[in-house]
A and B are shown apart, each in its own frame.
Chain A
């Protein structure tokens, strides 16, 4: 059913953002207003290139291209399969929204050239990760992505941002050491690094080396996928970055870690081998712990972006849980959640960006009555938050539905319980924000009422006047929310992620 064709499209998906990055870098201060728009156009062009592959991919076509041999027998090899395309399209979509949002959000900020050129450069590496045909290529793009993110995380250059950046670097570098070891060891054992087969390792290599390998991969990717206790960098780095980039960090970057874990399980070890090793179920318990504990942490945060960051940690747990349960439905749930989570969390962070930019408020406790000032933003926030909780018919429900079905298929009711607890906790930390925003009165309104309804001019502007964000910031947020709604409602429609994922999963689990 699957057929492979040579195509230039995968290279274009990587090259176009690189070219745009160079272009932004070369444009002088005089054309500074073009930087943001160029990064938007670059993201949109990348998205269109990826969408060009969609019809073929739905028919089972895999687009591949051999670029060059880096070391003998190891190629730089791009190969876009259905699963990779899901990540690629999700990333490019989110990037398009985030770049547009950045144009408004970053207005008046310093070092904009650096911000926009690195922003679009990161998309190149993400597209590369999604299109990697072997682990070697994967490693190259993955590492480039890790490094290129740094200037964006520390963009504010405040002491806190720099401290968070340092923490990020240390975590990521330790993780990548494990990863490098694992990849070299895999090559040593099997003599290949291809990601085009359902598993390249064999049980005959011995249980101990395989177990060492498995856990090295988990440690390596686990840092980026924020599996507890390797999550330490997330709650510091995600909130400190500028909001549009937080959206990407939370929506895509950690998902790239989870994507790596899935590649490890399905393409390096293979579902059969992971079942035989019995490591899947251990991993499932680890991530269940992550899911529950991170939600508890999230409850405790007053800083909105920090709460969202803890939520991300839990959501990555969903993806990994679905992966390691290794049933058809759970794998569908896990894969589709990469796309779904990117939309929901991206929207939430962009909303947080609107709130911060328009009102300067970071803490949930200060956000009373904010729904009246930013009605559209908060409506979008509500939709995305409901999606997170798993309310039908939003996208989050689709993921959770399949994950629960998958847990039942695997005869592991405990994980259904974990998922339900997590939904409850999700409701407990998301709904109060919505409540605070819409149903509590802001301090100004309270003081107006205390004055006996005497409205002063100052209170008028502070209390009632709409502070809604400019168009470039509100449109991405609304589009994101619309995506959360429609992709959930029409999940089974041919061009939405689920159909691609079904093709990928049938190959991985056959």
Chain B
């Protein structure tokens, strides 16, 4: 049931207004802080006010001026969009608190917070986009808005990483533009709909090329190997950027795009028809995801820089989502999509911890972090919870994803995918647990074991996120948790 409402437009607009105000009056620290926090909270309220309706199957729509005939900027909040919007607006609140603490004393804070707000605005735009064109517009805006944040430090290294980031993502973007145009010429529309807008009559060959184009385009931000190169270099950005953008907003925009293409542009039945005609694009995507899962984990094992290790872990974890989506079974899709939120909370906890450690001790490398657990016990406890979540240990959030993904893989008859997931859990343990071990069970080199936690603005977000990691696992079936929305979305995809 479609309902016209202003709220889908309101949500991204709040952040844009916030960004403009910060540009205008952001030199005043107090004003900047209160603007950031209040905007993030208001936006959270607006997004969540749509939740009950969304769970009941309502779709909120805002139609803006037509761009060219047949293509318009359309905001349309279905269950999947609502889900992604919810994740990013919740995390924006938490990250804002963290960023205020972390950026204390840094330069160009006005620029930082303004672009930060813009990024969140575009992310919500992506979530609420009702057609491929709108999604593309916001997707490209996200790329551009992230740039000033990546190069925030303005060191030569940062500038280089920023350049790499732009080259990768803009190339990806042009593939998407091309594919969007091709979709429009094939079907006469680019609106997301159930169960997809393309038909087999267009020819299997051209459809396969189209799918490949989309995947190459979105695959860059989803960091599917070998398109992942930009992500580890972008870790030079300040930690709040790494955590919100490079663990959630930017990369999840990529997998979100893949999900949209798979289920709302192509649709399950079309992909299965294509498979029966001999071109199984979903199967190829699945293999790409599985290779990325394993290779990403192996690369993570070799990193000593904590943020780099987290980045490779992100690469691996993003492919869980792609894998789930490519299985084309209800459980698989549910597992993949719910991993968007589960992974977000787990990884953001870890980035927050990495940032807190850096802020407090100026240590970036894992090999220097002996005994850090004695110094910062609560911080490292949250890291431990997140690590256990990453391993998929019950009853944490990661387990829920793994449970659904494995069930989905069995449904699809892909035992190999189950094996890959289990191996990956093991590898996750292999690269996260040694950090925990080093923190708690190795004595610090200076023998100093007095507790000295980071400032509360850095500590509180870690604690909140790690509690979420447990709650998302333990209470996964309650009506107002993400899984319920995901099930609603999956119901729409598979017309259950």
What secondary structure prevails in chain B residues at the interface with A? helix
> Is A467 part of the binding interface, using a Cβ–Cβ cutoff of 8 Å?
no
Residues 393 to 417 of chain B near chain A (Cβ within 8 Å): 393-395, 400, 402-404, 406-407, 410-411
A360 at the interface (CB under 8 A from B): no
Contact A154 B441 (CB under 8 A): yes
B477 at the interface (CB under 8 A from A): yes
For the complex, is A139 an interface residue (Cβ under 8 Å from B)? yes
B494 cross-chain contacts in A, Cβ below 8 A: none
Which of A69, A71, A166 counts the most B-chain CB atoms under 10 A from its CB?
A: A71
Contact A184 B477 (CB under 8 A): no
**Cβ of B388 and Cβ of A181 under 8 Å apart?**
no
If A184-B403, A184-B406, A184-B410 touch, whether A177 touches B426 (CB-CB below 8 Å) is yes
Chain B residue at smallest Cβ distance from A67: B474
Residue of A whose beta carbon sits closest to that of B428: A173
Contact status A71-B404, CB under 8 Å: yes
A188 contact from B395, B407, B473, Cβ within 8 A: B407
CB within 8 Å of B: which A176-221 residues: 177, 180-181, 184-185, 187-188
Establish whether residues B411 and A71, one from each chain, have CB atoms under 8 Å apart when the complex forms: no
Asked if B134 CB lies within 8 Å of chain A CBs, one says no
Q: Is the CB of B410 within 8 A of A185?
A: yes
Give the residues in chain B near A22, CB-CB below 8 Å.
none
A157 to B441, Cβ gap below 8 A?
yes
Instruction: Give bound CA distance, A143 to B391, whole Å.
Output: 11
8 Å CB interface, A141-167 against B: 143-144, 147, 151, 154, 157, 162, 165-166
Q: Is the CB of A162 within 8 A of B441?
A: yes
* Complex-state Cα separation, A165 to B438, whole angstroms: 13
| A181 interface neighbour in B391, B418, B443, Cβ under 8 Å | B418
- Indicate if A169 sits at the interface (CB-CB under 8 A): yes
**Residue in B418, B437, B473, B483 whose CB lies within 8 Å of A184:** B418
Interface size on B, residues (CB 8 A): 33
Q: Which residue of B lies closest to A178 (CB)?
A: B422
Cross-chain contact B393 with A143 (CB below 8 angstroms) = yes
Q: How far is A490 from B27 in the complex, measured between Cα atoms in Å?
A: 83
Quick check: is B71 within 8 A (CB to CB) of the other chain?
no
Residue B429 at the chain A interface, CB threshold 8 Å: yes
Question: A177 near B425 (CB under 8 angstroms)?
Answer: yes
Residues of A within 8 A of B392 (CB): 180
CB < 8 Å neighbour of B395 from A140, A157, A165, A181: A140
Asked if A2 is at the interface (CB within 8 A of a chain B CB), the reply is no
Contact of A69 with B429 at beta-carbon distance under 8 Å, contacts A139-B394, A162-B441, A184-B407 already known:
no
Contact partner, A180, options B395, B400, B422, B487, Cβ 8 Å: B422
Tell me if A68 counts as interface (CB < 8 A to partner B): yes
Flag whether A174 is at the interface (Cβ < 8 A).
yes
Q: Is B103 on the interface with A (CB-CB < 8 A)?
A: no
Please state if A70 and B393 are interface contacts (CB–CB under 8 Å). no
Q: Are A147 and B393 in contact (CB under 8 A)?
A: yes
A136 to B406, CA, bound (A): 14
Residues of chain A from 113 to 161 with CB closer than 8 A to chain B in the complex: 136, 139-140, 143-144, 147, 151, 154, 157
Q: Are B400 and A188 in contact (CB under 8 A)?
A: no
Instruction: Give the number of chain A interface residues (Cβ < 8 Å).
Output: 28
Interface residues of B in 452-496 (CB under 8 A from A): 473-477, 483, 487
Residue of A nearest to B473 (CB): A70
Hey, which chain B residues are within 8 Å of A453, CB to CB? none
The chain B residue with its CB closest to the CB of A177 is B422
Across-interface contacts of B388 in A (CB, < 8 A)? 147
A72 contacts chain B at the CB level, 8 A cutoff: yes
Interface residues of B in 425-460 (CB under 8 A from A): 425-426, 429, 433, 437, 440-441, 443
Contact residues of A between 74 and 92, Cβ < 8 Å to B = 76
Q: Considering the complex, which residues of chain B in the window 236-272 have a beta carbon less than 8 Å from any beta carbon of chain A? A: none
Most A CB within 10 A of own CB, among B394, B437, B475: B394
A169 with B476: CB separation less than 8 A: no
Contacts of A72 in B (CB 8 A): 477, 487
Q: Is there contact, CB below 8 Å, between B477 and A69?
A: yes
Q: B395: which A residues are within 8 A, CB to CB? A: 70, 76, 140
Whole-angstrom distance between the Cβ of A141 and the nearest chain B Cβ: 9
* 8 A Cβ contacts from B80-112 to A: none
In the complex, which residues of chain B have a beta carbon less than 8 angstroms from the beta carbon of A162? 437, 441
Residues of B within 8 A of A187 (CB): 407
Binary interface encoding of chain A residues 461-499 relative to chain B, with 1 for a CB under 8 A from any of its CBs, else 0: 000000000000000000000000000000000000000
Max chain A C-beta neighbours (<10 A), residue from B423, B426, B441, B475 = B441
Is the CB–CB distance between B422 and A70 below 8 Å? no
B407 touching A70 by the CB < 8 A rule? no
Question: A76 to B418, alpha carbons, bound, how many Å?
Answer: 24
Shortest C-beta distance, A177 to chain B (Å), equals 4
The verdict on A71 contacting B422 (CB below 8 Å), with A147-B388, A147-B393, A184-B406 known, is no
Q: B403 and A71: CB pair below 8 A?
A: yes
CB distance from A359 to the nearest CB of B (A): 28
Chain B: minimal CB distance from A304 (Å): 26
A188 to B405, CA, bound (A): 12
Contacts of A76 in B (CB 8 A): 395
Interface code A256-278, partner B: CB below 8 Å = 1, 0 otherwise?
A: 00000000000000000000000
User: Which residues of B lie under 8 Å from residue A188 when comparing CB positions?
Assistant: 407, 410-411
Q: Complex formed: what's the CA distance from A187 to B392 in Å?
A: 18
Q: How far is the CB of A224 from chain B (nearest CB, A)?
A: 15
- Closest Cβ of chain A: how far from B280's Cβ, in Å? 22
Question: Roughly how many angstroms separate A143 CA and B402 CA in the complex, as a whole number?
Answer: 15
A-chain residues with CB within 8 Å of residue B473 when the two chains form the complex: 70
B425 and A68: CB pair below 8 A? no
Partner of B422 from the list A157, A169, A181 (CB cut-off 8 Å) is A181
Report the separation of the CA atoms of residues A147 and B384 in the bound assembly, to the nearest whole angstrom. 11
**Could you say which residues of chain A place their CB within 8 Å of the CB of B394?**
136, 139-140, 143-144
Is B426 a contact of A70 with CB atoms below 8 Å? no
Q: Which residues of A contact B393 (CB under 8 A)?
A: 143-144, 147
**In the assembled complex, which residues on chain B have CB atoms less than 8 Å from the CB atom of A177?**
422-423, 425-426
A69 to B484: give the CA distance in the assembly, Å: 13
Contact A181 B406 (CB under 8 A): yes
Is the beta-carbon distance between A70 and B474 smaller than 8 angstroms? yes
From A76, A185, A188, name the one whose CB has the most chain B CB atoms within 10 angstroms. Answer: A188
Closest A residue by C-beta to B422: A177
The verdict on A68 contacting B429 (CB below 8 Å), with A140-B394, A140-B395, A184-B403 known, is no
**B residues less than 8 Å from A184 (CB atoms):** 403, 406-407, 410, 418
Q: Is the CB of A68 within 8 A of B418?
A: no
Smallest Cβ-Cβ distance to B487: which chain A residue: A72
Q: Which residues of B contact A69 (CB under 8 A)?
A: 477
Nearest A residue to B403 via CB reads A71
* Cα distance, A181 to B407, chains bound together (Å): 10
Residues of chain B contacted by A185 (CB below 8 angstroms): 410
Which residues of the partner chain B approach A151 to less than 8 Å between Cβ atoms? Answer: 440-441
Closest chain B residue to A180 by CB distance? B422
Contacts of A144 in B (CB 8 A): 393-394
Q: Kindly provide the distance from the CB of A124 to the nearest chain B CB, expressed in whole angstroms.
A: 13
**Please, which residues of chain B bring their CB within 8 A of the CB of A139?**
394
Q: Is the CB of A70 within 8 A of B410?
A: no
Residues in chain A near residue B433, CB distance under 8 A: 169
Shortest B408–chain A CB gap in Å is 10
Contacts of B440 in A (CB 8 A): 151
> Complex: how many Å from CA A173 to CA B437?
15
- In the bound complex, residues from chain B placing their C-beta under 8 Å from that of A143 are 393-394
Closest 8 CB pairs of A and B: A69-B477, A140-B394, A177-B422, A188-B410, A184-B406, A140-B395, A173-B429, A143-B393
Enumerate 15 A-B pairs (CB-CB under 8 Å) in ascending A order. Answer: A68-B477, A70-B477, A71-B403, A71-B477, A71-B483, A140-B394, A143-B394, A144-B394, A147-B393, A165-B437, A169-B429, A173-B426, A173-B429, A181-B419, A188-B410
Given A70-B395, A162-B437, A177-B426; 11 other pairs, CB 8 A cutoff:
A68-B475, A70-B477, A140-B394, A144-B394, A169-B433, A173-B391, A173-B426, A173-B429, A181-B419, A187-B407, A188-B410
